[in-house]
Amino acid sequence: MKKVLLFGATGHLGRALAGELKSRNYQLDLAVRNLARAESLKIPRDRILKWDPESAESLPSIFGEPEVVVSSLGKSVSPNARDKQSFNEVDFQLNREILKLAIARNVRKFVYISAFHSERYPHLEYFRVHEAFCHELKHSGIDYSIIKPTSLFSAYLDMIPMAKKGALFTVGKGTCKTNPIAENDVAKLAVDAIGLPNTVIDAGGPGVYTRRELAEILQQAIAPDRRVKRMPVSLLRCFLPLIRIVDRNLFDKLDFFVEVMEADTVAPVRGMTRFEDFVQSVAEQSV
């Protein structure tokens, strides 16, 4: 039995990772910032370790001697998440501190959840910091596995309230394609990758959709009497310079959003869960 220390356990993907590791009988410790959110994971209380990312002393005190570190730690791209830390502070700097300590504690394996095509968009802060940490990890000397999923299913949860109100829209024509992947499928890949030396895995779901099709599937399941609208790309882009001045965090999220909506992001099929099934389950829960 390997001892695993998991970071980012209270997010949607982190919960899936915790469940997958637990189901495979790993000795699991969770490093969390919010104890209340971790309680619902049904992990023994003594395996939940509270840490304060803004305290330099907090991380070494809870780190222990794990054989494997798994990190899904990252700042949410949701515009509704109003956390003040930047992508650089969370996705790069915090993960780098974890990596430094992993090296010092002779951790055997580091598994990191990055982002598909992060190497292609160095001008976007979200992708830049993911790729910067991937570079550090690859050159750290630790045996690594990097999982690069396309968008996760949970990224579409913000669209539920919009669909209910008839305010759901696509940016531009919505013809660019992607294949989002379920958190549970990414979790299985990540845990499988513990046994794969120095590997990078691009990962997408089984269905390829246009951006418009994804919105239509969601709208049809939530409020079929409403229609998906369209927002011109030019309209959103004209506001970005002003948003950058007022709120850099929001700018980085919207800058990312506009770019990916206008590009094909289709990864090799690694997942098995259909987007339609995910949407149906969410629709049933929201009734």
Query: What is the number of helices (H) and of strands (E) in the chain?
Result: 12, 11
Write out pLDDT tens, residues 91-128: 999 999 999 999 999 999 999 999 999 999 999 999 99
Q: How far apart are CA 77 and CA 17, in angstroms?
A: 19
Q: Residue 57 pLDDT > 70, yes or no?
A: yes
Provide the residue ranges of all domains of the chain, joining segments of one domain with +.
3-154+180-203
CA 42, 43, 44, 49 dihedral sign is negative
Burial class (CB in 10 A: 0-12, 13-18, 19+), 254: buried
Other CB atoms within 10 A of residue 187 CB: 24
Q: Of all residues in the chain, what percent are helix, strand and coil, respectively (each to 5)? A: 50, 15, 35
Confidence (pTM): 0.94
- Supply the CATH classification number for the domain 3-154+180-203: 3.40.50.720
Say whether pLDDT at 1 is over 70. no
Q: 134 pLDDT band (50/70/90 cuts)? A: very high
Provide the token pair at 50: 């509270």
Cα–Cα distance between 245 and 154 in angstroms, integer?
29
Across residues 224-243, what is the average pLDDT? 88
